[in-house]
Structure 1
Amino acid sequence: MFASEGRKKALTVVLMVAPFVIVYLIVFAYPVYKMFALSFTNAPLIGDGQWVGFDNYIKLFSQKLFYTSMWNTGYFVLLSAVPNTLIGLALALMVVRLEGRLQSLVLVLFFIPYILPVSVVTTIWKWVLDQQFGIAQNVIQLFTGHPVSVFRDPIWAMPMVAFVTIWWTNGFNLLLFIAALKNIPKDYYEAAALDGASRLQAFRRITWPLIWPVTTLVLTLQLILQLKIFDQIYLLTEGGPFNSTYVLLLLVYREGFRLSHGGAASAIAVILFLIIVAASVLQYQLLRVRRAS
């Protein structure tokens, strides 16, 4: 009897877990395996190729464009990941003080860009930053003294792509931080006020430690998302000018879809995959150590 009940429970567990396992194997595990396998072949975009060992990796590490793409990807992450997190936190600290419909309205206004397609976002900012009639050129002229074609200038291009990305995606970070801040009991702040703590002291001793897990999550998500930058670059600059915004996924697109080098594209994708895994694990562990200390 007990054995029969045990088998029923085991069967129930298997039936509940099986759909997830099947989807995981089909959608994630098999494509990752195929990516690694193709990276050791000379396969075209569609179809299998012959085994070439590490030739794709050797050729890749001899290309100047690969190192340029690596540098540009890291530069973009530096310009976007941490600033996006800090801006989201700063906005959340201000918005959480609002109440009722006003808070809801402000949240909606900040979140609307996040639900827009990337094509719409890039079209908007191409118009806003246009050298001839863009309304943002008045602000740019305060710093430069003259209009600038920001997406055709090697100095301005990557920072402006990062700016557009932050504007587009920050609403999601804002919601995460708002949820974290609302979960902090108000009693903590009332007790701190009775002890004479200032707002800065309350933030350092109460708010910051309690929202640190969410901060860790946001930073990790931002790191992963920004390492995979492609859409904004492709639509705003196409990797130019002078390859100043050429990133790793754009190199994958070039090798795979333009040159039909599926094996070489897979090798680049493998390297990017390993970078994302290593950077994410390292960052998460460092943030956990920071929280524990």
Structure 2
Amino acid sequence: MKKLYSNKLVILSLVLPGIFVFIFAILAPISLSFYYGFTSYSGMGKAEFISLDNYIELFSDKNFHISLRNSLFLALGFIFIQHPLAIIVAVILDKLQGKAEGILRCIYFIPNVISVAVIAYLWKFIYNPDFGLLNNVLKTFGYQGQINWFSSDNAIWSVLVVLIWHGFGWGMLIYYTGIKNIDPVLYEAAAIDGANTTVTFFRITLPLMKSVIQVNVTMAIISALKQMETVYLLTNGGPGNSTQFAANYLYQQAFKAFRYGYGNAIGVVFIIICLAVTILLNKMFQEKKIA
């Protein structure tokens, strides 16, 4: 076997498929996006080179600024609402053991396996101002008004709730897996030393989950930037542009306004932001070397 893997032809045959996939599925599309970002291409006909015009326009495009602001708002919602809750639920599930642990883990993950279209229409009915479940629940508590959950003031919060709820299962499952990989001996030693649950959580669980938290936070920010399907089906960025998100705005510009070049310029900005976020988080979570 060792002789086989030292053969250059064997190594090449194993490496080449991965290289081809990387080139045609990742590198080529990104390179084309960079190219079309410098053109006024409409998706049809000839692509006319216009230098940095698309990127200059992005700086003054108020709708693009709104979409980025909303994406940042969603990323903060993921990091400071969804993830702390996901860690707490993961810790509780780990303590439960037995059948209850497995059943609850499946229940929390159910939204992630349901079609995005089903999720969007389900929440549209929940938010419906006339016969929606949410307004009816409020009526049972004595509130007689009729709240329009997709008004310009409420829409962003309504969308945020749906997206946090929908993605909760993934975050919880990753944290749950991270907790399961912590050596139980550490918890036993802490218990012998008299450490309570709170101390154990902050001194053992969180520090040893550092790499897992880093991955989850990075994925949360990237996920916030690329949110499109759920937003499109719920509000399509409306009313006005109050729930416009970056990926949805890209779709509208590229495929509805037939500004394919401008849409690719937005895509290039996405790539730059994602790379910057990844590098920044790597530096933030980097272990400090002791001299």
User: TM-score, normalising length from structure 1?
Assistant: 0.90
Map of 2:170 onto structure 1: 172
**Offset of 1:147 from its aligned partner?**
2.7
CA contact (8 A) 2:40 2:259 kept: yes
Map of 2:238 onto structure 1: 240
CA contact (8 A) 2:4 2:10 kept: no
Which of the numbers 260, 263, 272 marks the counterpart of 1:265?
A: 263
**Offset of 1:258 from its aligned partner?**
1.2
SS of residue in 2 equivalent to 1:149: coil
CA contact (8 A) 2:74 2:160 kept: yes
Greater shift after overlay, 205-214 or 21-30?
205-214
Compared with structure 1, are the counterparts of its residues 8 and 47 closer, same or farther at alpha carbon in structure 2 (3 Å cutoff)? farther
Distance 2:231 2:142 in 1: 24
**Offset of 1:193 from its aligned partner?**
1.5
- RMSD between aligned alpha carbons? 2.3
Map of 1:56 onto structure 2: 54
Distance 1:225 1:74 in 2: 11
Compared with structure 1, are the counterparts of its residues 178 and 6 closer, same or farther at alpha carbon in structure 2 (3 Å cutoff)? closer
**Offset of 1:266 from its aligned partner?**
0.9
Q: Deviations over 1:85-137 (max 9, x none)?
A: 11110110111111222111111111111011110111111112221222222
**Offset of 1:185 from its aligned partner?**
2.2
SS of residue in 2 equivalent to 1:29: helix
Distance 1:203 1:145 in 2: 44
SS of residue in 2 equivalent to 1:136: helix
Which of the numbers 232, 249, 252 marks the counterpart of 1:251?
A: 249
**Offset of 1:81 from its aligned partner?**
3.5
Counterpart mapping for 1:124-163 below 5 A: 124-138=122-136, 146-151=145-150, 153-163=151-161
Gapped regions of structure 1 (runs ≥ 5)? none
Which of the numbers 105, 108, 123 marks the counterpart of 1:107?
A: 105
Amino acid at match of 2:147: V
Compared with structure 1, are the counterparts of its residues 290 and 225 closer, same or farther at alpha carbon in structure 2 (3 Å cutoff)? farther
Map of 1:24 onto structure 2: 22
Map of 2:277 onto structure 1: 279
Identity of aligned residues (%): 29
**Offset of 1:283 from its aligned partner?**
2.0
Greater shift after overlay, 38-47 or 105-114?
38-47
Distance 2:73 2:265 in 1: 22
Distance 1:222 1:140 in 2: 31
Amino acid at match of 1:146: G
Counterpart mapping for 1:81-230 below 5 A: 81-138=79-136, 146-151=145-150, 153-230=151-228
Task: Tell me how many residue pairs correspond in the alignment.
Answer: 287
User: TM-score, normalising length from structure 2?
Assistant: 0.91
Q: Deviations over 1:156-182 (max 9, x none)?
A: 211221211121111111111111112
Map of 1:10 onto structure 2: 8
Q: Deviations over 1:1-21 (max 9, x none)?
A: xxxx79962222111111010
Map of 1:36 onto structure 2: 34
Distance 1:7 1:188 in 2: 40
Greater shift after overlay, 200-209 or 78-87?
78-87
Gapped regions of structure 2 (runs ≥ 5)? none
SS of residue in 2 equivalent to 1:288: coil
Distance 2:64 2:279 in 1: 24
**Offset of 1:145 from its aligned partner?**
6.4
Distance 1:78 1:250 in 2: 19
SS of residue in 2 equivalent to 1:187: helix
